[in-house]
Chain A
């Protein structure tokens, strides 16, 4: 019952909002209320999972081996909660700034529905269905909330590249079903241990590419900067903070739980790709001048960290991947939401976000980076530690170059603000920025809940994965 609650809230509200004009205030406020309610429900659900262990309900009241399962464990719960909170903050800021398109509130709620559904499902195929729901909403948002210059370009690139990713994912699901004869995740994981190793590695690579595209990993990153730059900052926050979680969660779920032996086999390749992603993202970010451009490339780099943590593996590595993903989602949301706002409070909020990305305590980002180093030490991998250190140092460079190139430099008329976005922001926008900054700070001062849930998630992955 509790597990179905967020879906039961978001679904009817999304339908009703589709009939309303989203540019007017009431539609936006209903969307915010629904997202707030869903976030609260997911918070309660996460507490319940943390105390009582995984929750599940089988659709249609069928017996578990026949019916489609809604199932949530610590991993799904923490990602669902983070995602819903990010969408809530971004939606609130979108409404405060004024939605550009009549479809923005309904598409955001549909995206929340899709993302919540995919984190809460125990079935590979319904994962795909929810995933497509979220992606289609995202394509719509790109078209509706795009900036005048690059709107159709951004929407087109985004849709084409990600449809290829979705298509690969669908092929992989088909192949997985062919190989194991079931779509139920736990059962798939059990049977996947016995399939032909060649088939399994092929499957694993296809899944990896599919999620790599979503996460924007090098070398599947080409779509990412033009999309993040072609939309309003609050939509970019939704993509970087919520939609990208599909990639991280998918890699943890399909790599960590379903195909763990293939993950181990490919660990070196994964760490190398992660490393290239980190260095490439950072160097590209250093070479950019505009804040949002730097952030877009920094997203590519940070996808690499998740991959390195996954490659290091083991309970510590998986915990690090979870903690880093959550911290990174919050950091990116904060930075995108405050990147174009000016004033005392917004400058402070942006600074907190920048320090958090750099990993300065007390911030959520510190624990993200710290758990990565812990994973590196635990795996006794000097290469990984050097990589993390170099990545961290480069992060410092590009984050503080933002001040040098963008914030502290007097600008000529219209320079570096092609899209005319920089404003002082309305009071409501500033409030949202401050609240997100506080969340990042509070998680830095009191990280125990996050760390405990991440530990639990890693333990459950280890336990469910067949060995």
Chain B
């Protein structure tokens, strides 16, 4: 371990806020700046910070890093579901819900619409792939050191 106690403490306490910020970016899209892609990148940066501060072995033990491919593919599958579900119910692919002139369901100030579901898929895909790439690079770096 080459990092100091201070770095480790700050990194550890930054993880939760990073994920909260990612979530905020994810849900505040549409009306203002933000979307699933940038949210996924921010969340993955949170994981990267942990890797830098604690090393790959420690992070792999603490967090379910090995699930990254599953997360990515779940995200891709959600995206696909947004494409396919309307076709199965007799509409056009990617058809938007709710239809024009209909009020969406509100959760607080978050509108529950097709685009949000799609962006959650994008978020998971970006998060999963970025974490997997980070993990692979960290693994390669560890091999070089050994």
Contact = CB atoms under 8 A, between A and B. Distances in A.
Interface of A: 1, 4, 8, 11-12, 15-16, 18-19, 57-62, 67, 70
Give the one of A8, A60, A70 with max B CB within 10 A: A60
B93 A70 contact: yes
A12 B73 CA distance: 10
Given A57-B92, A60-B96, 13 more contacts: A8-B83, A15-B76, A18-B69, A18-B73, A19-B73, A57-B93, A58-B92, A60-B93, A60-B94, A61-B91, A61-B92, A61-B96, A70-B93
22 contacts: A1-B87, A8-B83, A11-B80, A11-B83, A12-B84, A15-B73, A15-B80, A18-B69, A18-B73, A19-B69, A57-B92, A58-B92, A59-B92, A60-B92, A60-B93, A60-B94, A60-B95, A60-B96, A61-B86, A61-B92, A67-B92, A70-B93
Interface of B: 69-70, 73, 76-77, 80, 83-84, 86-87, 91-96
Top 7 A-B residue pairs of the complex, sorted by shortest distance between their CB atoms: A61-B92, A59-B94, A61-B95, A60-B94, A11-B80, A59-B93, A15-B76
Contacts of A16: 73
Contacts of B95: 60-61
A59 to B, nearest CB: 5
B77 A4 contact: no
A291 to B, nearest CB: 37
Contacts of A60: 92-96
A362 B86 CA distance: 47
Given A57-B92, A60-B95, A70-B93, A8 B84 contact: yes
Given A12-B77, A15-B76, A15-B80, A4 B69 contact: no
Given A57-B92, A61-B92, A8 B87 contact: yes
Contacts of A62: 92
Contacts of A12: 77, 80, 84
Nearest to A18: B73
Contacts of B83: 8, 11
